[in-house]
Copies of this chain bind each other. A is one copy, B any other.
């Protein structure tokens, strides 16, 4: 088969460790020549939100959406051992100490490597978000059918 190999990821989770997995897999695949498509939906949309003068991880759409109900989040938690918000910091510190790319660096690498970033249309409707809320690298807003078509013939992961 002469076709380019393909990896597609449905990035559903907003957890720091899972988003790290999304971008580690994506950049690792892109680095060896795969076409990589990432489809951000639900909590995963957090990863492609505009920074608005804050650190990347701090721009959480739930801050605004559920802001009146909560004190205000400022960090994407890890899925386990979040230590009241310190989990991601510990991770980032361990990653720096061990010369592993941090989540922020991985997102930058994704842009450089030409990974295709897509936002889920339905989740945007639910949450009242528009394309302008996302970083300009987001290529398009897609529905499920369009994403499935894009990911045909490759490996697809739900993270």
Taking beta carbons and an 8 Å cutoff, which residues of A are in contact with B?
5, 7, 10, 12-14, 17-18, 21, 24-25, 28-29, 31-32, 34, 41-43, 62, 66, 69-70, 79-81, 83, 90-91, 94-95, 98-100, 122, 125-128, 143-145, 148-149, 151-152, 155-159
Contact = CB atoms under 8 A, between A and B. Distances in A.
Contacts of A43: 17, 79-80
A47 to B, nearest CB: 14
B127 A94 contact: yes
Contact of A159 (B95, B144, B158): B158
Contacts of A98: 125-126, 128
A31 B145 contact: yes
Nearest to A159: B158
Contacts of A127: 94
Contact of A100 (B95, B122, B145): B122
Given A21-B41, A91-B126, A145 B28 contact: yes
Given A34-B148, A98-B128, 16 more contacts: A5-B148, A10-B25, A13-B79, A17-B43, A28-B145, A29-B145, A32-B148, A32-B149, A69-B83, A94-B127, A98-B125, A100-B126, A152-B155, A157-B157, A157-B158, A158-B158
Contact of A29 (B10, B31, B144, B158): B144
